[in-house]
């Protein structure tokens, strides 16, 4: 298991100075406008500079999918580690508007 701290000790981790939504495990950035996101604890939309006591630092550890908002890609854990090491912004998942199909075209 690769824990966030082990990555930090390898010198590849850059944490934001303050514990805000932008680096919180519970926060899902909007797929297109990543300064807005959805807090899965409070179940509300917040901005990336908000914070609260439920803050939990994002990490790539469990064998699950992740979201790289830099590349706009869904990643498996192995991929996520590579993106993380490249200083990309990794999240648990992305927030997609439930009515997004209204904005989509036949393609």
Partner 1 sequence: MIDLNLIIGGPQGGGVESAGQVVVKAIVLKGFNVLGTREYHSNIMGAHSYYHVRFSDGIVRALRLPVESIVALDAESVLTHINDLSERGFLVYDIDTLSQDATRIASMEPSLRRRLRNTFNSLGLNPTVANAIKILEEKGVKTIGLPLKDLLKKVSAEIGAPIASIAKTVNVIGIASSLYMLGFEPEYISKALELQFGNRPKILKPNITAASIAIEYIESNYGKRPILQDGPHKGKRRMITSGNEIVAMAKIIGGLSFETFYPITPASDEAFHIEENKYIEVEGVEKDSIDKLSIVVLQTEDEISAINMAIGAALTGSRAATSTSGPGFSLMNEAISMAVEAEVPILISLWMRAGPSTGIATREGQQDLLHSIFSGHGDTPKIVIASGDHIEAFYDTLKAMNWAEEFQTPVIHLLDKYLASTITVLDEPEIDPSIVDIRRGKRVESPGDNYKRYEITEDGLSPMAPLGSTTMIVSSLEHDEYGFASEDPIDREEMMKKRIRKFETIAKSIPESEKLVLHGDIDARITIISFGSTKQAILGAIEELEKRGIKINFLQFRILSPFPSNSALDVLSRSERIISVESNAMGQLSLLVRAHTGVNIEYSIRKLNARPLYDIDIVYGVERIIKDNVKSVVVSSGS
Nearer to partner 1, 6 or 54 (CB): 54
CB of 15 to partner 1, least distance (A): 20
CB of 24 to partner 1, least distance (A): 15
Residue 67, CA distances (Å) to 9, 20, 22, 74, 105 in order: 23, 18, 13, 5, 24
What CA–CA distance (Å, rounded) separates 12 from 85?
Answer: 6
Supply φ then ψ for residue 10, to 5 degrees: -85, 5
Identified binder of partner 1 from the candidate list 14, 53, 63, 102, rule CB under 8 A: 102
Determine if 105 is a binding residue for partner 1 (CB under 8 A): yes
Nearer to partner 1, 46 or 59 (CB): 46
Q: How far apart are the first and last CA of the chain?
A: 40
Question: What residue ranges bind partner 1 (CB under 8 A)?
Answer: 30-33, 35-36, 38, 44-47, 70-73, 95-97, 100, 102-107
């Amino acid at each position: 298991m690769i824990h966030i701290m082990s990555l930090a000790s390898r010198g590849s981790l850059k944490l934001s100075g303050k514990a805000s939504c932008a680096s919180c495990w519970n926060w899902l950035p909007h797929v297109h406008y990543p300064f807005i996101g959805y807090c899965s604890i409070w179940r509300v939309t917040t901005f990336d500079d908000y914070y609260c006591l439920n803050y939990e630092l994002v990490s790539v550890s469990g064998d699950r999918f992740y979201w790289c908002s830099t590349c706009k890609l869904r990643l498996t854990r192995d991929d996520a580690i590579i993106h993380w090491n490249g200083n990309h912004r990794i999240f648990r998942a992305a927030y997609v508007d439930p009515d997004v199909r209204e904005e989509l075209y036949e393609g």
